[in-house]
Amino acid sequence: MPDVRGETIRRALTRLALLRLDVVIQGSGVVVAQDPQPREQVRGGTRVVIRCEPRNLSLVSAN
């Protein structure tokens, strides 16, 4: 299982689709948590839950 935390939903979906995983999205924005955890062994068809939250705008404006 790749680590998709910190990625946009679109980027995470692209990566997980290549592995033929069944993705469930909770929220919007960037991925903040995932189940199964990164580096766990998974098979095609495994259900993956990614929890997303909006990107913190204060962090973006500080850069």
How confident is the model over 1-53, as pLDDT tens digits?
Answer: 999 999 999 999 999 999 999 999 999 999 999 999 999 999 999 999 999 99
26: domain range?
9-54
Considering the domain boundaries, does residue 17 fall inside one? yes
Considering the domain boundaries, does residue 61 fall inside one? no
Considering the domain boundaries, does residue 3 fall inside one? no
pLDDT, position 59 = 54
Domain tally, the chain: 1
Q: Taking the complete model, does pTM exceed 0.75, yes or no?
A: yes
| Preceding amide of 36 cis, omega within 30 | yes
Order of strands across the sheet that contains 47-53: 22-27, 47-53, 30-35
Considering the domain boundaries, does residue 29 fall inside one? yes
